[in-house]
Amino acid sequence: MTDVLLCVGNSMMGDDGAGPLLAEMCAVNPPGNWKVIDGGSAPENDVVAIRELRPSRLLIVDATDMGLNPGEIRVVDPDDIAEMFLMTTHNMPLNYLIDQLKEDIDEVIFLGIQPDIVGFYYPMTPPVMAAVETIYQRLAGWEGKGGFEPL
Q: Is the pLDDT of residue 82 over 90?
A: no
Residue at 76: amino acid letter: V
pLDDT of 60: 95
Q: Is the pLDDT of residue 92 over 80?
A: no
Helix (H) or strand (E) holding 74: strand 73-76
pTM of the shown model: 0.91
pLDDT of 83: 65
Domain boundaries, the chain: 3-139
CATH of 3-139, one of 3.40.50.1980, 3.30.413.10, 3.40.50.300, 3.40.50.1450: 3.40.50.1450
Q: How far is CA 130 from the centre of its chain?
A: 15
**pLDDT, tens digit, 9 for 90 and up, residues 43-71:** 888 999 999 999 999 999 999 889 999 99
Helix (H) or strand (E) holding 10: none
pLDDT of 90: 54
Cβ neighbours for 38, distance < 8 A, ≥ 6 positions apart: 7, 19, 20, 23, 24
Cβ neighbours for 143, distance < 8 A, ≥ 6 positions apart: none
pLDDT of 21: 98
pLDDT of 1: 66
Q: Is the pLDDT of residue 86 over 50?
A: no
Q: Are strands 3-8 and 57-63 parallel, antiparallel or unpaired?
A: parallel
pLDDT of 129: 98
Query: For residues 4 and 14, what is the distance between their CA atoms, to the nearest angstrom?
Result: 25
- pLDDT-derived band at 18 (thresholds 50, 70, 90) equals very high
pLDDT of 104: 87
pLDDT of 99: 79
**pLDDT, tens digit, 9 for 90 and up, residues 94-143:** 777 787 888 889 899 999 999 999 889 899 999 999 999 999 999 999 99
- pLDDT-derived band at 91 (thresholds 50, 70, 90) equals low
